[in-house]
Structure 1
């Protein structure tokens, strides 16, 4: 883990190398957040990343959401699945779906992607117990949403994912 003093002293390239994966396959968020240093605390660091993401054009925001994997993929099926995402999905049991659960998740993912043109994103580490069922219910509920509301919700979920990842990398 890094201290905040180490983070603030890093050259920009090292900062992007260390934190470029915090927002899935989107090192541009870290590059923008680096410009806000020095950070007074970890909360300020998280806020700088969020501000960088939210200040981006809508097309970049959609690209960020689309960089996230679908939930419940079979192990080895998604070559773009990052180590962080694999660990997070595994912690929620999404790497151990029964055949019936897998079929249900596949159908929900397909319906969501067809309607919104992006994968369903949720911070699985904040879901808690019975994660698979809670995630499936959230997918079903959010299918009734509007595209603009879903983009906003996806960005909020991505911020939550990123904050947890930053807390994993930096000593508060």
Structure 2
């Protein structure tokens, strides 16, 4: 998809196409639409990042709360967004052993209990082992550190999802 096509989209089209680049946050896409035209994918991505950066702490935490638990209830029920389903599958989270699933469930619960939002990591840039290691490590962070790290992970996810939409040819997952 070329940027001229993106810039020509009406509000509904834009929100339909870009509404989940930030997980379950179509209102962010709606706000970003008002910043057209976008000269490049990078400029579009920057608008998403600028919007998130402008939010108060509660807004950033709200974005994080829109993310599903990794290998959690939504995965088991089949109610993940298509993007999250593919990302968790790619990271190996759809083929956990019972023991791994139990461990991840326990870690997710402890993390949520401490930070009051789910653990967020760019699953496409990690595998099952690195995700488990990061979760085990990051649970020891301060709330402020974890908020900053989690928002950076949201922006990585946004970056890759934008590339999927605009440049659907094979691309690297390195930032």
Check whether TM > 0.5: yes
Residues 153-162 or 26-35, more deviating? 26-35
The yes-or-no answer on 1:56 pairing with 2:55 is: yes
- Which deviations, in whole Å up to 9, do the C-alpha atoms of 1:132-155 show, x marking residues without a partner? 111011001101101111111111
Q: Tell me the TM-score normalised to structure 2 length.
A: 0.90
Shift of 1:171: 3.1
Counterpart of 2:171 in structure 1 is none
Listed as ranges, the gaps of 5+ residues in structure 2 are: 169-175
Aligned positions of 1:1-172 closer than 5 A: 2-73=1-72, 76-78=75-77, 80-127=79-126, 131-171=127-167
Note closer, same or farther for the CA distance 1:76–1:85 as it changes in structure 2 (3 Å cut): closer
- 1:72–1:95 contact (8 Å) kept in structure 2: yes
Structure 1 segments of 4+ aligned residues over 2 angstroms from their partners: 73-80
The range that moved more, 109-118 or 35-44, is 35-44
Deviation at 1:62, TM superposition (A): 1.0
Q: CA RMSD in A?
A: 1.6
Structure 1, unpaired ranges of 5+: none
Instruction: Number of aligned residue pairs: give it.
Output: 168
| SS of alignment partner, residue 119 of structure 1 | coil
Q: CA deviation at 1:79?
A: 5.6
Q: Which structure ranks higher in relative contact order (CA pairs < 8 Å, sequence separation ≥ 6)?
A: 1
Is the contact made by 2:32 and 2:47 (CA closer than 8 Å) also made in structure 1? yes
Distance 1:100 1:79 in 2: 21
Q: Does the Cα contact within 8 Å between 1:4 and 1:171 map onto a contact in 2?
A: no
Distance 1:146 1:75, change over 3 A: closer
2: CA distance, partners of 1:74 / 1:8: 37
Contact 1:69/1:80 (CA < 8 Å) preserved in 2?
A: no
